[in-house]
Chain A
Amino acid sequence: MKDNNNDIKIGVYICHCGSNIAGTVDVEKVTNLAADAPHVVIAREYKFMCSEPGQDFIIKDIKEKGLNRVIVASCSPLMHEPTFRKACEKANLNRYLFQMVNIREQCSWVHKDIKSATEKASALINAAIRRVVYQEPLETFKVNVNPNTLVVGGGIAGIQAALEIAESGNKVYLVEKKSTIGGKMAKFDKTFPTLDCSACILTPKMVSVAQHENIELLSYSEIEDVEGSIGDFKIKVRKKARYVHDNCTSCDECTKVCPVQIPNPFDENQSFRSAVYKTFPQAIPNTYVIDKEDRPPCRETCPIGQEAAGYIGLVAQGRFEEAASLIREQNPLPIVCGRVCYHPCESECNRKFVDEPIAIKNIKRFVIDWEMNQYGGPKPPIIEKKRSEKIAIIGSGPSGLACAHDLALKGYEPIIYEKLPVPGGMLAVGIPEYRLPKKLLNSEIDYIKGMGVSIKTGIALGKDFSIKDLFKQGYKAIYIATGAHKSLKMKIPGEEEFVGVYHGVDFLRNINLGNSQPVENRVAVIGGGNTATDAARTALRRGAKEVTILYRRTRKEMPAEEAEIQAAEEEGVKIQYLIAPVEVLGKSGKVVGLKCINMELGEPDSSGRRRPVPLEGSKHDLGFDMVIIAVSQSPDIEFVDDQTNFKLSKWNTFEVNQETLETNVQGVFAGGDVVKGPATVILAMGYGKRAAEAIDKLINKKPMRDFKTHINKILPERDENSRPHSYAPKFKDTLKKPRIKMKELDPKTRCTNFEEVELGFSEEEAKQEAARCLNCGICIECHACERVCEAKSIDHNMKDEIIEINVGQVLITTGFNTLNCNSLIPYGYGEFENVYTSLEFERIVSSTGPTQGNIVMKNGKEPRAIGIIHCVGSRDINYHPYCSRVCCMYALKFAHLIKDRTKAEVYQFYIDMRSFGKGYEEFYSRILEEGVNVIRGKVAEVAKFGWSNNGDEPLIVRCEDTLIKKYREIPVDMVILCNAIEPQPDAEKIQRLFSISRSPDGFFLEKHPKLDPTATATDGVYIAGCCQGPKDIPDSVAQASSAAARILANISKEEIEVEPIQAYIDPELCAGCRLCNNLCPYGAISFDEEENISKVNEALCKGCGTCVASCPSSAATAKHFSDEQIFAEIEGILE
């Protein structure tokens, strides 16, 4: 091509466009200049090139003068490029040898000076003349159109379009974000100007959608990802979990028992709804939904996944029995947990960002105490089938008991072997009586025994039997949960030497078992954990005169529970911080004191706590008669013998598979402190429950995965600016309510006996405390709905699904949002309770709304006068410069409804009354006849009346009545703000997903505002309804039908012509660097392993040019936009 430039014959045609171009551009001069340019054979000017005679010039000249390039300088190619391309094709000239120059929109219309406009037009034409030389003929190709269509948004526009397309026999996927279709129209009571009932005309269409065989409704779903182009889009849709299956019968039993009440967004937050709900009675689909955002942190952080928020919600409503059964469903040792749990739930409770966490442990204790008082204990559970497989559990601590409990529920009859003479492990011998009375512990153990568990005490593994023995006896699985009962030594001089030095757990064990344990007058307890406080308080109760806890860090780092430390201090225990003993001092074989050294805090260590560092020269002696060392414990693993080789860590803990708890010995599991090292009751129970599930899987020969038992999760960061759920205020704005403190025995008298210190909550206290719960994540998982659901539809474990669909075309009907009125301070929204937004008032007048359609104020009285303010945030450069188009008419509708239902005076404050549609002006006239006051003037502000008699506080609307040229203050009881229609908050996301554009106002941009209002710049993607701009229902429906027609036209064509403007990779030049492969946004470039070059897939390439720009060896070129074409064009302009 480049070498036979001489054969190029160009024809240039310059259009006057009436006076549109000729008025500013000297067409004659431009034509003469063009005629002199190289290769130009003919240059003509004509009044209207787009007319039939204009086109005939081109056709004739091609035929007669043998033109092989054609340039038309006229309007935008968006308008007439297809016209002239067709003309060229009529004369057998390839359409890509034609070039259009825009000298109207880009020249004559934007310039005033004839001389410079002429120069510019000439430069633009010259550029085209230079460019067209390098243009090459290209062949268009066709793609098949997938007849399926995706409609995004189930408002009235989406419903209308979906039905029209489906009626033609083609499949439609209707994706709706909310749980029901119907959109905003479902909220309205009446529609203007005909005043027909919105529901009556909308719901039949909604039902048709549900029943239509060609419509697949994906409600509660959002578009995740879009790939492909016209004819073949691949769409990923996230179907959010409804937590209710489709077999829901809509019986509404669930909402009656749900303890959660949140503001109902369908009623614009003017009423409340439960967490399980159906948006409105005629909702489609008919299935209920559970509103579940994040899982509550109390449950997430609990090692056994106890649904604390659930029973707290039930307690708040006084439903103690249900609460007790919910606790028992997940917790095998609720009496223990209600008293001694380390409650990680409270540490993570969101309420801590407001004031103090909920007293979850205490509420649990109340519920279980209530159950015991009411029924004398729990009813034994029904265990369906008994299993014969033998399972042994070593250790009857919390881990062993939890494991036995869960296995018993599954029908097994496990046997627990306990080394100590009493069952309960640390619960029995580590925790003092005053915290956990033995009687209660035993009732808990008896309950588990009642389920078919047997406990053999005083039999020690390693001494009385071995692991091998158990397998020989036919045990199928063994769970080792022997805990950490061995005290760690401090390894300081004198520790082993003198009488009067004891170790924490040994001391507590002796007391708990009733063994002889002397207690002296002055007692030192070394350590900062719960064992230290337990030992200190026990020593006090056993007659010690003075007890001192020595701890090497500060109170902030102390691992013991804060409540325990406080209780110890109240009882008179002294605590010395930043001090550590270095030697036990003794005289004649007996302890006389400790040599101590002061410490200071250095850098944080691996646990995140600051490491204590000894202070040089601070050694001093303290006098004591007895020393209890409670620094830490380790597992006592004397039972490990040579016959079974367990893998142990350097801390003598068992190494297990963290998910399945299997040890290296087949059939042997381990958990609790023996794995974790000394930790908490609840963590040990978590291990026990997991082990029970693992053992069940082993016995049933199921794969060791997909475990259901909960494992405590690390929670995401939150702060005081977060919210418990999206309908709640921020933590910092939440009303403060202090935590209720549990009553305790008097510290003065209690330290002489072992009576239980904490006295529990009263019913009223428990309810009050439970009412502080913030309902994190909305659904609190109390499972009350599950229990009443006869259809068994509710499934709290449902997960989001990703569905992939293939469609040929897409229609976007995502609708609108309304302006948030909080930013309009002068109108007092949010400050005065009787200032409403238009949607709020729509719900007020709706018979299914919060007031059943009665127009009343917040105090329940009928208003005497109502002001309706138009143009709130519309026609206002501070908010939205555009007119929202529907406000005037719905404001008139409101006026009519108010007049119809009340005696109130109505004032319409308008700037210009826009009643433009069919029957609208007549409606305006009708409202005037009804005696509505219309005041022409924008309201400046709404204020409270300065003073009031008899508590009557009307609002004052200040404005200028522009028609009487007077400033007026009009007293009203209620104000309705006709707030602006604005784009949906997620419009940007939709814009990106479908690569469409938005106009400056934020609404989706149509291809042409007059001639193509439903198409977008992206082929195959259409828009309809308010997502394109504010419009009323008739217009939305009309636009939706028109979009449906456009889509059906393409479907019936079956094939669509696609512009061949695509990338091409020259195989000679490609170096195979693969840079373009990943850059291509359409995945159109693949690497040919055999030839070692990249290749473009023409069906996918959109001709965006990314590869062209990135190619280091210039192998990639864009057809019709090659480098030489562009350079020639630039040179032409600059010439």
Chain B
Amino acid sequence: MIEKRENTSIIPGVLGKKEKHLRDSLLQQILNIPGGESIKKCIQCGCCTGSCPVSYMMDITPREIIALFRAGEIESILSSRAIWICASCYACTIRCPQGVQVTDILYALKRLAIDQKIFPKRFPVYALSESFVSLTNRFGRSYEPGLILLYFLKTNPLKLLGLVPLFLKLFFKGRIGLLPKKIKGRETFSRILREAEIMEMVVPVQES
């Protein structure tokens, strides 16, 4: 049975409009990764999946992600949980017999997902990731009450109420504070982050 899908075009050799847009944005990201080109050399051996300590929890395997990318199915990658499960241990990258920068490619995919706002259903890990990163960038270290607040505001604000008793218990035992702790030299830290973002071309360089 042939299922007509929105993404596929009927013109030979031409991708659907949305898929083409995704592919172009992703390629731009991947080409910024040193060695990112090697994604073309993948021989689909699955050594990445075998090396991955968390692949058993992924709905699609790292190898499959590359296969889907080649097959013009980037949207199905972005709507899978796999890229958000990666624990960044880089075992796949080290063992890859073709030098594919698997972990870095997964990061590129995560950025693409955030840019395009395409996320897996009922799996708001990206929200946790976003919240964590924004707080760490601000204070230079993790700020737990803020993280909980931000995460649940983004995903399920009602659940926050249920957490109040636990919070109080932790608070009175001195396990959790109210105010964030900041690091010294936050200015410098944000400059470093800014530079890193420019280097990764996450943000366009602004002419001053």
Contacts and interface: CB of A to CB of B under 8 A. Distances in A.
Contact of A878 (B48, B52, B97): B97
B61 A938 contact: no
Interface stretch (B39-47, B116-124, B150-158): B39-47
Contacts of B51: 826, 940-941, 958
Interface string B51-82: 11001100011011000000000000000000
A962 interface: yes
Interface in A985-1006: none
A313 B91 CA distance: 50
Given A826-B95, A876-B97, A967-B55, A940 B60 contact: no
Interface in A906-965: 911-912, 936-941, 958-962, 965
B97 A967 contact: no
Interface in A957-979: 958-962, 965-967
A940 B61 contact: no
A958 B52 CA distance: 10
A355 B49 CA distance: 47
B60 A937 contact: no
B50 interface: yes
A936 B45 CA distance: 7
Contacts of A877: 97-99
A871 B50 contact: no
Contacts of A938: 45-47, 50, 97
B87 to A, nearest CB: 14
Contacts of A960: 46-50, 55, 61, 63
B95 A967 contact: no
A941 B47 CA distance: 9
A962 B97 contact: no
A875 interface: yes
Contacts of A958: 50-51
Interface in B102-149: none
Contacts of A937: 45-47, 49-50
A912 B42 CA distance: 13
Contacts of B43: 875, 911-912
Contacts, number: 70
Contacts of A876: 97-98
B95 A940 contact: yes
A877 B63 CA distance: 18
- Interface-central residue, A875, A878, A965, by most chain B CB under 10 Å: A965
Contacts of B49: 937, 940, 959-960, 962, 967
A871 B45 CA distance: 10
B54 to A, nearest CB: 9
Given A877-B99, A967-B50, A962 B56 contact: no
A911 B45 contact: yes
Contacts of B50: 937-941, 958-960, 967
Contacts of B63: 960, 962
A613 to B, nearest CB: 61
Interface string B4-20: 00000000000000000
Interface residues of B, number: 21
A962 B95 CA distance: 17
Contacts of B97: 871, 875-878, 938
Contacts of A941: 50-51
A960 B56 CA distance: 10
A474 B48 CA distance: 94
A965 B95 contact: no
Contacts of A962: 44-46, 49, 61, 63
A967 B47 contact: no
- Interface-central residue, B44, B45, B60, B63, by most chain A CB under 10 Å: B45
A980 to B, nearest CB: 11
B30 to A, nearest CB: 18
Contacts of B47: 937-940, 959-960
A327 B74 CA distance: 82
A878 B97 CA distance: 6
A912 B45 CA distance: 8
A836 B100 CA distance: 28
B64 A965 contact: yes
A937 B47 CA distance: 7
A912 B46 CA distance: 12
Interface in A718-774: none
B61 to A, nearest CB: 6
Nearest to B52: A967
B193 to A, nearest CB: 33
Contacts of B44: 911, 962
A937 to B, nearest CB: 4
- Interface-central residue, B64, B97, B99, by most chain A CB under 10 Å: B97
A876 B50 CA distance: 16
Interface in A485-540: none
Nearest to B44: A962
Nearest to A935: B46
Contacts of A878: 97
Contacts of B61: 960, 962, 965-967
A966 B60 CA distance: 8
B165 to A, nearest CB: 38
Nearest to B95: A940
Contacts of A961: 46
A877 B50 CA distance: 18
A878 B95 CA distance: 8
A498 B91 CA distance: 87
A488 to B, nearest CB: 72
A965 B63 CA distance: 9
Contacts of B99: 877
A937 B64 CA distance: 12
Contacts of B64: 965
A959 to B, nearest CB: 4
Nearest to B51: A940
- Interface-central residue, A912, A959, A962, by most chain B CB under 10 Å: A962
11 contacts: A826-B51, A871-B45, A911-B43, A937-B50, A958-B51, A960-B50, A960-B55, A962-B49, A962-B63, A967-B56, A967-B61
Interface of A: 826, 871, 875-878, 911-912, 936-941, 958-962, 965-967
Given A871-B97, A938-B50, A967-B50, 14 more contacts: A826-B51, A826-B95, A876-B98, A877-B98, A878-B97, A911-B43, A936-B46, A938-B45, A940-B91, A959-B47, A960-B63, A962-B63, A965-B64, A967-B52
Interface of B: 43-52, 55-56, 60-61, 63-64, 91, 95, 97-99
A-B CB proximity, top 3 nearest: A940-B50, A960-B46, A960-B49
